[in-house]
């Protein structure tokens, strides 16, 4: 019996060359990401820049005592607290004494935090931190029309929002939804570039503003060749039409009340669920060309899958929780919950159904950002009644979340592609053992990188093991193409 090797020597040599090339790219990416973080600390969180912002916002500080830099630094250190909304005033005064040799009474620091000028100062610093070099990157992309070697998309743009509950003293500035919800809430809406790992825009507005009213904002940032991935709340037919005209690709969940037609000139729409039942869609996946919209017919590709019972139960629980009721949804809605349906203008030649479904999961990157912001950094946990103090803490926590996210990206690059670092464990480690104080007060990443290389085996994410059949399906399927594409995106961060 003659046995043949699974791979030829030429294939093995090619794979080894690819591994060497990938490792070199990762080393360059590590160096670039570290440089970008240092530039952020030097160009935004520097004495000169912060003093200019303080003067602009009329935030006058006493000479030879509290400086603009020490004020921001002590807020960043004080808000990085895993158990409370912020460290006590006494602890923050100890930070000032230890790191800056500034001796100050807690009452004096409280007076600074309670002023409107301090709130305006911290707000502008927070916006500059999150949008650092964003305009430069956008201008560079528009000039050069630089694309990735994969030639799939120029950029992947994500848009999502999260509502943060606030004390009632801020109800005039940020109105909540009322009822069982908080009377004061702020909606943080973010447009995020996954390819360069930059926040292109962060808008804080009233918590009762619907997502669909913010749907048009992304048209100011998206360009030809970009891919826009958003949640169902941003669904708007007219904006999809504009994206198609500008040759912008999009992936969006389908809304249940949208009219669907099989042909452009059909007068009567179809019931998509009945149509799928006629096609006997069970384990089979859905991939159809349809037209949506009564007035303006948009030609899109309808894709989807039938979901298991566990997913249906989860959607029912989310429905009840969102409305604060115990009643089950209607029968039609229950049937709708049995499917995951999406629309896109990506053709079958450009990307398969499985690849699009996997690409949609990229949206969870921004969800993880919000989760880290709320669970680890307690951005929705505030005490006190002074509105200026609360605004100071809100904006500094947004900036803090972004800096910790950049450091997490650096840690993931240092760990390499074989190790997945847990964002939950990393954020906790960064506060307790990661040399966070040196990063903020001195702009020095040396100790942090050294400590991370020592402890990275303890920060790994626990991944559920797959059986042999699942691994075989994943390797043989087209999902492997998207895995390579997403790897390239992560490598080219901060390019």
Q: What is the DSSP letter of 39?
A: H
Domain-embedded: residue 16: no
Number of Cβ within a 10 Å radius of residue 451? 15
Q: Do residue 242 and residue 94 come from a single domain?
A: no
Residues near 115 by beta carbon (within 8 Å), at least 6 away in sequence: 59, 388
Cα(199)–Cα(137) distance, rounded to whole angstroms? 11
pLDDT confidence of residue 136: 53
Domain-embedded: residue 15: no
**pLDDT digits (tens), the chain, 495 positions:** 344 345 666 766 666 666 665 555 545 555 555 666 666 676 777 788 888 888 888 887 655 578 888 888 888 888 776 445 566 788 888 888 888 888 888 888 888 888 888 888 888 888 878 776 555 544 554 444 444 334 578 888 999 988 888 887 778 778 877 655 678 888 888 888 877 667 788 788 888 888 889 999 999 889 888 999 998 889 999 999 999 999 999 999 888 888 888 888 888 888 877 777 777 665 567 888 889 988 888 999 988 888 788 888 888 887 777 666 777 777 777 777 888 888 999 988 888 888 888 888 878 777 777 877 777 777 777 767 787 888 888 888 888 887 887 788 778 777 776 677 887 788 788 877 777 777 877 777 778 888 888 888 888 876 655 554 444 444 444 344 444 444 444 433 333
Alpha-carbon dihedral angle through residues 317, 164, 170, 184, given to the nearest 10 degrees: -10
Q: Do residue 322 and residue 296 come from a single domain?
A: yes
pLDDT confidence of residue 239: 92
Domain-embedded: residue 74: yes
Q: What is the CATH number of the domain that holds 332?
A: 3.90.350
Domain-embedded: residue 468: no
Three-state DSSP class for residue 451: helix
pLDDT confidence of residue 150: 42
Q: Do residue 218 and residue 351 come from a single domain?
A: yes
Domain end marker among 443, 458, 473 = 458
Domain-embedded: residue 57: yes
Q: Do residue 325 and residue 412 come from a single domain?
A: no
pLDDT confidence of residue 321: 74
Q: Do residue 354 and residue 454 come from a single domain?
A: no
pLDDT confidence of residue 167: 80
Domain-embedded: residue 54: yes
Q: Do residue 251 and residue 325 come from a single domain?
A: yes
Q: Is residue 256 a contact partner of residue 336, using CB atoms and an 8 Å limit?
A: yes
Where on the phi/psi map is residue 133: left (φ > 0), alpha (ψ -120 to 50), or beta? left
Residues near 204 by beta carbon (within 8 Å), at least 6 away in sequence: 174, 186, 187, 188, 189, 394, 395, 398
Q: Which helix (H) or strand (E) holds 19?
A: helix 9-43
**406-419 in b/e burial notation, b at 16+ Cβ within 10 A?**
bbbbbbbbbbeeee
Q: CA Rg, the chain, in Å?
A: 25
**Residue 54: which domain range?**
40-130+398-458
Q: Do residue 403 and residue 302 come from a single domain?
A: no
pLDDT confidence of residue 227: 92
Q: Do residue 238 and residue 350 come from a single domain?
A: yes
Cα(432)–Cα(446) distance, rounded to whole angstroms? 17
Cα(262)–Cα(258) distance, rounded to whole angstroms? 13
Q: Do residue 126 and residue 172 come from a single domain?
A: no
Q: Do residue 241 and residue 178 come from a single domain?
A: yes
Q: Do residue 318 and residue 177 come from a single domain?
A: yes
Domain-embedded: residue 190: yes
For 201, list phi and psi in degrees, rounded to 5. -160, 135
User: How many separate domains does the chain show?
Assistant: 2
Domain-embedded: residue 386: no
Q: Do residue 123 and residue 188 come from a single domain?
A: no
Cα(156)–Cα(382) distance, rounded to whole angstroms? 34
């Amino acid at each position: 019996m003659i046995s043949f090797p699974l791979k030829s020597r030429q294939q093995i040599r090619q794979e080894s060359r690819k591994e060497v090339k990938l490792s070199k790219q990762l080393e360059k990416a590590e160096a670039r990401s570290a440089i970008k973080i240092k530039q952020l600390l030097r160009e935004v969180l520097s004495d000169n820049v912060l003093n200019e912002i303080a003067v602009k916002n009329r935030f006058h500080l006493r000479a030879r005592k509290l400086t603009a830099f020490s004020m921001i630094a002590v807020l960043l250190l004080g808000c990085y607290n895993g158990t409370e909304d912020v460290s006590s005033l006494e602890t923050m005064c100890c930070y000032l004494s230890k790191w800056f040799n500034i001796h100050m009474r807690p009452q004096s620091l409280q007076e600074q935090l309670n002023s409107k000028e301090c709130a305006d100062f911290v707000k502008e610093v927070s916006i500059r931190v999150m949008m650092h070099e964003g305009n430069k990157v956008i201008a560079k992309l528009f000039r050069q029309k630089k694309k990735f070697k994969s030639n799939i998309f120029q950029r992947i743009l994500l848009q999502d929002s999260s509502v943060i509950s606030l004390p009632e003293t801020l109800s005039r500035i940020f109105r909540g939804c009322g009822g069982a919800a908080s009377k004061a809430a702020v909606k943080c809406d973010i447009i995020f570039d996954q390819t360069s790992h930059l926040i292109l825009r962060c808008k804080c507005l009233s918590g009762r503003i619907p997502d669909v009213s913010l749907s048009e904002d992304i048209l100011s940032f998206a360009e030809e060749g970009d891919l826009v991935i958003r949640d169902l709340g941003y669904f708007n037919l007219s904006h999809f039409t504009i994206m198609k005209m500008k040759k912008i690709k999009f992936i969006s969940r389908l809304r249940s009340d949208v009219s669907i037609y099989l042909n452009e000139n059909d007068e009567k729409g179809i019931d998509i669920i009945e149509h799928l039942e006629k096609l006997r869609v069970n384990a089979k996946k859905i991939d159809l060309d349809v037209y949506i919209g009564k007035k303006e017919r948009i030609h899109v590709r309808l894709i989807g899958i039938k979901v298991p019972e566990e997913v249906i139960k989860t959607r029912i629980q989310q429905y009840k929780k969102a409305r604060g009721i115990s009643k089950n949804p209607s029968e039609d809605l229950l049937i709708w919950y049995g499917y995951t349906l999406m629309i896109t203008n990506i053709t079958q030649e450009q990307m398969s159904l499985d690849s699009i479904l996997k690409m949609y999961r990229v949206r969870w990157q921004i969800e993880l950002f919000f989760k880290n912001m709320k669970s680890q950094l307690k951005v929705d946990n505030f005490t006190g009644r002074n509105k200026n103090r609360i605004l100071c803490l809100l904006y500094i926590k947004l900036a803090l979340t972004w800096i910790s996210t950049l450091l997490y990206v650096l840690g993931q690059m240092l760990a390499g592609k074989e190790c997945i670092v847990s964002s939950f464990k990393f954020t906790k480690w960064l506060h307790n053992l990661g040399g966070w104080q040196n990063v903020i007060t001195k702009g020095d990443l040396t100790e942090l990188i050294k400590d991370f290389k020592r402890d990275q085996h303890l920060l790994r994410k626990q991944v559920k093991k797959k059986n042999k059949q699942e691994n075989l399906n994943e390797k043989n399927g087209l999902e492997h193409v998207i895995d390579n594409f997403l790897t390239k995106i992560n490598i080219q961060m901060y390019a």
